Chain A
Amino acid sequence: MPVNENFVPKIQVFEPHRASLPPLGPYLKEFWTRRVFATELARFSDKAEYLDSRLGKVWLVLNPLLLGLIYYLVVEIIRPGGGLPGLTRLDHLLIGLFTFYFAQNCVTAGAQSITLGGRLILNQAFPRALLPLSCAIQAFQQFLWTIPVYIFVLIGGKLAYPTTEVPGWTWNFLWIPFIVICTGLTGFGLALIFATLNVYFRDTNKLLTYITRIWMYLSPVLWLPSSLRGHMKILLWVNPLGPVLNATSRVWVSGVSLNKSTIVGCIFWALASILMGGYYFISRERDFAIRI
């Protein structure tokens, strides 16, 4: 029978492929073509998350604000003063916490994205990395809500304590998009690794709860990067979020530019996470439909 008049030939060839990368060109093209699916999935997941809540999206602001307050109280009780004026400490803690949670949300939600997307994975052929990507997009959207909170605290604090130094407008703020992109890429890359691990070992998610907690204590969120002495400074470099959190504190809190080593550190971890995560995930993703 002749093919229908609207038929557009689209030849797809499926051949053996296991534990090695599929042809990357077509994969990335398909990934790019379907990016709207990832953005819409993020939007709808966000909508579904707050649908049954009376305060709805207000929680997007309340959550980080309350979290910041809790940690500020904890830090103040453990180490009052800490060598910095209270408002500066609060600013560092808040923006560090928001940035850390942006990466953490990418990882924790992304880690479950494949196991929770079971039916979708069993039914449709699409680049599976779109699912962790949608989690990263959702985490980014939630991070955006925290920025006004930070600015509000900054301005409110300055009005209440006029003697405290806060950075005015500086061109160094143009580093912020770079920091956010590096944080997102690092979070997404790590999410790819944990999403794959979670398919093979279902208790990965439980372990992740403890990993992220330890990760935060080892990151310059509750403490200042400048407080590290001697060999402890290595914590800023072996931690995938070390350089971006150091950069966050420099630019957001102090308004100073980034030094070369911090820029290299940010780029290194963003690329390393994406390349390692991408390889591990894409080389295994055809196996997911069997393992789920």
Chain B
Amino acid sequence: MPEDLAIRIEDLSISYKVSLEAKRTLKNAVMRASLKQKERTRTIEAVKHLTLDVPHGSVLGIVGSNGAGKSTLMRCVAGILSPTEGRVTVNGKISTLLALGVGFNPALSGRDNIILGGLASGLNMDEISNKTDEIAEFAALPDGFIDLPVRTYSSGMYGRLSFAVAVSMTPDILLLDEALSAGDAAFKEKSFERMRQLCAEARTIVIVSHALATVTDLCDSAIWMHKGQMLSKGKPEAIVDEYLKFLNVGSLPSSYEDM
């Protein structure tokens, strides 16, 4: 892989089978086996023959409707899901925020959860200890909340803490899935600022967002995915325009808000 690339995706396809049964249980499996019936399944082709290079220091936005395969693609880049065909090569330390509240035990304090989240991300105890106060400050938790159980947090505080843990890992590659929907306008601006700083340090960011303004504001390139395929790739404004035309909602200001 060329040195200037952070991510190389080659002819990637991801498909998986889902059961059509309401609940997969041992009881049903035994019943089926006794009746010599096969389980009813459906194959989902989440990503189809996608090829893409992401250079170091770039911010890539991914847009597309629900079920387009954006989250599956992100999980494959993170190494969480394996490809069915093709290959993904990643060069650098990855930090992910693909589901909010990661590693969070609601009975434990924010501080304890920061340690758990950091360890899950691959940091060591010394690195986490140095970052705990910084994370708490970035998450803008009210005084004393860092030592209270996470179950006492509002959903905004919960989301901000998750985001703060992910961005404070000083990753080479940051993968974010709808993470910026957490927090209020002030926190969003702070998050943007942090991501711009990461970009200035030549770190790579991939963002999945339905908030199209985020894509045009932050990204320097974008792709549009639809039903597992990459329909187009280019400048964020052009991709967003194309996507909006497809959605047939024009460029109404409301389309640029969280949808």
Chain A residues in the interface with B (C-beta under 8 A)? 1-4, 6-18, 33-34, 36-37, 40-41, 44-45, 47-48, 51-52, 119-126, 197, 200-204, 207, 286-287, 289-290
Contact = CB atoms under 8 A, between A and B. Distances in A.
Contacts of A48: 105, 107-108
Please classify how large the interface on chain B is, using the bins under 10, 10 to 19, 20 to 34, 35 or more.
Answer: 35 or more
A204 B26 contact: yes
A204 B103 CA distance: 24
Given A36-B124, A119-B102, A124-B120, A8 B93 contact: yes
Contact of A125 (B78, B89, B124): B78
Given A15-B82, A16-B85, A44 B105 contact: yes
A120 B107 contact: no
Interface of B: 1, 3-4, 16, 18, 23-27, 29, 55-58, 75-94, 96-105, 107-108, 112, 115-116, 119-122, 124-125, 149, 170, 172, 201-203
Given A1-B57, A120-B103, A14 B124 contact: no
B225 to A, nearest CB: 18
B90 A203 contact: no
Given A7-B202, A44-B116, 8 more contacts: A1-B55, A1-B56, A11-B1, A13-B89, A51-B107, A51-B108, A202-B24, A203-B27
Contact of A289 (B24, B57, B81, B85): B81
A40 B116 contact: yes
Please provide the 10 A-B residue pairs with the shortest distance between their CB atoms, ordered closest to farther.
A1-B57, A125-B79, A48-B107, A37-B119, A4-B202, A203-B25, A201-B26, A123-B102, A286-B82, A14-B88
B1 A289 contact: no
B80 A7 contact: no
25 contacts: A1-B202, A2-B4, A4-B57, A11-B90, A12-B79, A14-B77, A14-B89, A16-B85, A34-B122, A40-B119, A40-B125, A44-B108, A44-B116, A120-B120, A122-B80, A122-B98, A122-B99, A123-B96, A124-B80, A124-B102, A201-B24, A201-B26, A201-B29, A203-B25, A204-B26
Residue picked from B97, B98, B107, most chain A C-beta under 10 Å: B107
Contact of B105 (A45, A125, A197): A45
B83 A123 contact: no
Contacts of A287: 16
A142 to B, nearest CB: 17
Given A9-B91, A44-B108, A125 B80 contact: yes
Contacts of B203: 4
A125 B94 CA distance: 9
A179 B177 CA distance: 47
B202 A119 contact: no
Contact of B83 (A2, A15, A126, A203): A15
Contact of B25 (A14, A40, A201, A286): A201
